[in-house]
Structure 1
Amino acid sequence: MTPVAQALAACNLGDMDKPLETIIVDSILDAIADQRLRAGTKLGEQALSDLFRCNRAHVRRALATLTAYRVVDHLPNRGAFVATPTPQDARDIFQARRAIERVICRNAVNQATEQDIADLRSHLAQEAAAKGQGNRPAAVRLSRGFHVLLGRVGRNPVLSRYLEELTMQSSLIIGLYASAHGTLCAEDEHARLVDAIEARDPDAAQRLLDEHLRHIEAGIEFGDEAPPTDMLSAVLKRS
């Protein structure tokens, strides 16, 4: 096995009914979350095409999605690479998230239905299961999914679109720079936020959201980086 098939080898590609582009995107994000795919790693179209046994059009669409969300940098005449966010990038992203998600929280308190609360609690159960199994990629992905779901509950599609982009960039930063063994958030942070929304308490929801995001940001350490992985087949493998 060559060194982007081994980093993706441990990825759970999950629902094979998903569009192939989504599977490629999720596999790359999972490998980043598990700290097997490093900043600066080249994402070669042909290598990914061979790895996922698909044509390059699928790969281009997947890379275009990741580029649009600024998880991948596309350099003219060089190709696509895992983005390398700076400490200032991280600060800017989390500041933007706090501003946007405060409004989303207030909207959610005012507009959440019983079904919305049930959906959020169902998502919490999936997060707890992933953490209990020690599945870091799934935990990071589900943590992002919780905030995306919260954005939908807030029923402002403009803010929801911005949040989707910011959470994907946050997942990149967390995957690259947060401790591989540390807890990214307290077990009950999301649960207490849902409790506040269900209790129709906007002040508590906004406070808990702010504390949650600051806690995540505080766990990010921009120290010495591992060298980029040069070969996709070492970290990505389609099962």
Structure 2
Amino acid sequence: MDKPLETIIVDSILDAIADQRLRAGTKLGEQALSDLFACNRAQVRRALATLTAYQVVDHLPNRGAYVATPTPQDARNIFQARRAIETVTCRNAVREATDDDITALRAHLAEEDAAKGRDNRPAAVRLSRGFHVLLGRIGRNPVLARYLEELTMRSSLIIGLYASGQATLCAEDEHAQIVEAIERRDEAEAQRLLDQHLRHIESGIAFDDNPPATGALSAVLGDWRG
């Protein structure tokens, strides 16, 4: 069954944010999106309402919708929240992971390695976020997993706004070490490695950097028809 067009719009914008192609502060004009996705503005408004609920889009009265611009304090708060939530989801993953889950994690690591080998930063960023989301799902707490999905998406915005170059891409072996600790059922070590990993990501963010400009929405979002 084909996805509803509103879902396609939401997914396209979320993917562009996760890939750091769509930068904070970018205006998401209703008419521009309507033209790009060949739909009416009511459908665009519903999609933007969904994105606002994710807290990655701000709707400003009489000005329209913009990709949210987190402040440095927002960034610190988000990473603090991630450390709190992911400590629990990692513990749960150690306790709940099945053999199939470990296989899924190792397959994900292989995808990450392939993206890095191709020097494909957008894919590497998306897959890095996906690793944390996958851990949340393996932890078998859907409430925490949902919060984590939102926080990792907001983290992608922060990285896109404040980071440069390879500063916040994961070190090659950090995810692999976490998976090995989970496979050994070493709860304390898995949690220690995850906390260290998140602090490494945060330490690569420079809050005095100026975000690069985003191009036209049509160029950023590409051909949504696939």
Using the size of structure 1 for normalisation, the TM-score is 0.84
1:153 aligns with 2:151: no
Map Cα deviations across residues 214-236 of structure 1 (whole Å, 9 max, x no partner).
00001111224247548534533
Q: In 2, are the aligned partners of 1:104 and 1:159 still within 8 Å (CA)?
A: yes
Moved more, 64-73 or 31-40: 31-40
Map Cα deviations across residues 112-131 of structure 1 (whole Å, 9 max, x no partner).
10011111111111111222
Equivalent position to 1:97, from 82, 100, 103: 82
TM superposition shift of 1:144: 1.1
TM superposition shift of 1:64: 2.4
Equivalent position to 1:144, from 115, 119, 129: 129
> Structure 1 residue runs of 4+, over 6 Å off?
none
More helix by share: 2
Equivalent position to 1:201, from 172, 181, 186: 186
TM superposition shift of 1:92: 0.5
- How do 1:217-232 residues align onto structure 2 when only pairs under 5 Å count? 217-226=202-211, 229=214, 231-232=216-217
Map Cα deviations across residues 129-176 of structure 1 (whole Å, 9 max, x no partner).
222222222211111111111111101111111111111101111122
1:131 aligns with 2:116: yes
Q: In 2, are the aligned partners of 1:52 and 1:237 still within 8 Å (CA)?
A: no
Structure-2 change in CA distance of 1:224 and 1:143 (3 Å): closer
Aligned residue number for residue 26 of structure 2: 41
CA RMSD of aligned residues (A): 2.3
* Aligned-residue identity in percent: 81
Distance of 1:223 and 1:132 partners within structure 2: 30
1:125 is paired with a residue of what secondary structure?
Answer: helix
Using the size of structure 2 for normalisation, the TM-score is 0.89
Q: In 1, are the aligned partners of 2:178 and 2:190 still within 8 Å (CA)?
A: yes
1:175 aligns with 2:176: no
Distance of 2:208 and 2:159 partners within structure 1: 13
TM superposition shift of 1:35: 4.7
Map Cα deviations across residues 42-71 of structure 1 (whole Å, 9 max, x no partner).
101110121122333443333223211211
TM superposition shift of 1:33: 4.9
Distance of 1:133 and 1:227 partners within structure 2: 23
Task: Give the residue type in structure 1 aligned to 2:95.
Answer: N
Structure-2 change in CA distance of 1:129 and 1:21 (3 Å): farther
Distance of 2:170 and 2:58 partners within structure 1: 28
Task: Give the residue type in structure 2 aligned to 1:141.
Answer: R
Aligned residue number for residue 106 of structure 2: 121
Structure-2 change in CA distance of 1:60 and 1:154 (3 Å): same
1:67 aligns with 2:52: yes
Unaligned runs of 5+ in 1: 1-16
1:38 is paired with a residue of what secondary structure?
Answer: coil
Distance of 2:5 and 2:112 partners within structure 1: 24
Q: Size of the alignment, in residue pairs? A: 224
1:81 is paired with a residue of what secondary structure?
Answer: strand
1:74 is paired with a residue of what secondary structure?
Answer: strand
- How do 1:15-30 residues align onto structure 2 when only pairs under 5 Å count? 20-30=5-15
Q: In 1, are the aligned partners of 2:160 and 2:211 still within 8 Å (CA)?
A: no
Structure-2 change in CA distance of 1:144 and 1:20 (3 Å): farther
Unaligned runs of 5+ in 2: none
Structure-2 change in CA distance of 1:82 and 1:182 (3 Å): same
Task: Give the residue type in structure 2 aligned to 1:98.
Answer: R
TM superposition shift of 1:18: 5.5
Equivalent position to 1:78, from 40, 63, 66: 63
TM superposition shift of 1:22: 4.4
